[in-house]
Amino acid sequence: MDLAKIKKDFPILSKKDALIYLDSAATSLTPEPVLEAMDAYYRTYRANIHRGLYKEAERASNEYEEARVVVARFIGAQADEIIFTAGATGSSNMLMYALEHTDMFQEGDEVVTTIMEHSAVLIPLQAFAKRKKLNIRYIELGENFQLDYEQAEQVITSKTKLVALTLASNVLGTINDVTRVARRAHEVGALVIVDATAAVGHMPVDVTLLGADFLFFSGHKMCGPTGVGVLYGKKSELAKLTPSFLGGGIIEDVTRTDFVLGLKPWSFEAGTPNIAGVIGLKTTVEYLEKIGVEKIQTHCREILAYAQQELQKIEGSTLYSAEPAYNVGIVSFTLDTVHPHDMAEILGKNGVAVRAGHHCAVPLHTELNVPATTRASIYLYTTEEDIDALVSSIKKAKEIFNI
Ligand SMILES: Cc1ncc(COP(=O)(O)O)c(C=O)c1O
């Protein structure tokens, strides 16, 4: 990977007061081709999709539908299994509402999730379980910041109707063995929902290999635009759902009293979508494919190994980060009694962008017995020099706190 060339693709990294950017797990940076693709839409062919009969409208519709093909290919799916949404949170809520309106769940059934889920999964799942009177059970943490797979086998039983789990933790970086959990879930006839938000664009993702019935992610965690995401639904499972958001663009026929919905997946995209965002997402996938996702993964592992090694050397540091071999490039840490927010503030003043807090994973932090952590996250443009800047900034913070 030509790192110098890649860095040049990201205009924000070339500005005079550019940050040392180690906050890609919050949101990643946008490369020039993606900016150009969105700019071109707004400047030269802005039109609504699937409506107009003039050339700009046709081009916008074509680009939008081409994005469905490109995104599907990227995750090993079919184009008609891809729904564009506002992001992972939008996908998760849409899915939970749609599942709630099926007859698949009865009072007392169980849903299984993991202790390392993001609120985007956990909160809609809890609300759904409350409304349907379902019991939530957890796959717990095992050794080395991995899931306890033996306990997972036990907790998924004939009562389990749904298993929702993250492919990669946004705190620990851990890449979970979704294939293994999905195999067990399918043995008992449970649906498998995968949160791939921290994984897509960071490692190869194939919905069939994973055994995902549904899978979702956000564009902005993979160098794409904000406000756009994807919900993948296996054709046979998507067929069982009806859309909860209704409106224009999804209707086959309407009378005074009733309506007939159009085809899936389009019927899940009522109203005018984020057209520029979807077009930007298509270019993002093409950009990542050109570099090679495997190469990006290898690079992130190398930088992560260096970061873990250097952070471990700092006296008083505790790392909450899975081994590089199964980590998407995230290292969360604490330093003695320094509050992570104070740490992040000092790092920020030194021009190093990290995130501090519970990272929308409160039960995980409770389990780790820390209220908050500081998180450094690595992506394709991260260099060893960025890690050196982080480490020297932490050392300065140590002096300030006199520890
Ligand atoms: C693992 C994981 N899932 C879901 C989300 C939610 O993504 P969004 O805020 O883009 O909807 C995030 C965002 O931090 C995440 O890291």
Query: Which atom of ligand 1 approaches the CA of 229 most closely?
Result: 10
Burial 120-134 (b: 16+ CB within 10 A, else e): bbbbbbbebbeebeb
The DSSP secondary-structure symbol of 55 reads: H
Task: Report DSSP state, residue 109.
Answer: -
- Give the residue from 287, 165, 145, 284 showing the smallest Cα distance to 216: 165
Nearest residue (by CA) to ligand 1, atom 7, is 88
pTM for the whole structure: 0.97
Q: Residue 332's pLDDT is what?
A: 98
Q: Is residue 88 in contact with ligand 1, taking CB distance under 6 Å?
A: yes
Residue owning the nearest CA to atom 13 of ligand 1: 26
Q: Which CATH class name applies to 3-22+293-401?
A: alpha beta
Residue 265, preceding bond cis, omega within 30 degrees?
yes
| Contact indicator for 249, 50 with CB cutoff of 8 Å | yes
CB 46 within 8 Å of CB 279 = no
Catalytic annotation present for 360: yes
In short, whether 165's Cβ falls inside 6 Å of ligand 1 is no
CB neighbours (10 Å) of residue 3?
14
Q: Please tell me the distance between residue 277's alpha carbon and the centre of ligand 1 in angstroms.
A: 17
Structure confidence at residue 337 (pLDDT): 86
Query: 3, 57, 360, 362: which is the annotated catalytic residue?
Result: 360
The protein residue with its alpha carbon nearest to ligand 1, atom 12, reads: 197
- Candidate from 92, 117, 118 with most ligand 1 atoms within 8 A of CB, to mutate: 118
Check residue 41 and give its pLDDT. Answer: 98
Rounded Cα distance between 334 and 356, Å, is 10
Compute the distance from residue 282 Cα to the ligand 1 centre, in Å.
19
Distance from residue 219's CA to the centre of ligand 1 (Å): 10
Residue with the nearest Cα to atom 14 of ligand 1? 26
Q: What is the rounded distance in angstroms from the CA atom of residue 63 to the CA atom of residue 279? A: 6
pLDDT at 201: 98
Do 94 and 87 meet the contact criterion of CB atoms below 8 Å apart?
no
Residue 36 parent element (H or E): helix 32-44
The reply to whether ligand 1 has any atom less than 6 angstroms from the CB of 222 is: no
For residue 167 and ligand 1, the question of a CB distance below 6 A is answered with no
Q: Ligand 1: distance of its center to the CA of 324 in Å?
A: 21
CA 170 from centre of chain:
8
Task: Answer whether 170 contacts ligand 1 (Cβ < 6 A).
Answer: yes
390, 352 Cβ separation under 8 angstroms: yes
- Asked if the 34-289 domain carries CATH number 3.40.50.300, the reply is no
Q: Are 82 and 72 in contact (CB under 8 A)?
A: yes
Q: Say how many Å lie between the CA of residue 120 and the centre of ligand 1.
A: 6
In the predicted model, residues of the chain with pLDDT beneath 70 are none
DSSP-assigned states of every residue in 289-346: HHH-HHHHHHHHHHHHHHHHHHHHTSTTEEEE---GGGBSSEEEEEETTB-HHHHHHH
**Cα–Cα distance for residue pair 200/285, rounded to 1 Å:** 10
Q: What is the pLDDT of residues 46-72, one digit of tens each?
A: 999 998 889 999 999 999 999 999 999
Distance (Å) from CA 56 to ligand 1 centroid: 33
Phi, psi of 375 (to 5 degrees): -120, 125
Distance 391 CA to ligand 1 centre (A): 27
pLDDT digits (tens, 9 = 90+) for 121-167: 999 999 999 999 999 999 999 999 999 999 999 999 999 999 999 99
Measure the CA–CA gap between 238 and 147, rounded to whole angstroms: 28
Residues 125 and 271: their CA atoms lie apart, in Å, by: 26
Mutate to test the pocket of ligand 1, among 197, 274, 281 (most ligand atoms within 8 A of CB): 197
From 24, 28, 85, 89, mutation site for ligand 1 pocket: most ligand atoms within 8 A of C-beta: 89
Ligand 1: does its nearest atom lie under 6 Å from the Cβ of 218? yes
Per-domain boundaries in the chain: 3-22+293-401, 34-289
pLDDT score of 1: 85
Q: Compute the distance between CA of residue 74 and CA of residue 237 in angstroms, rounded to an integer.
A: 20
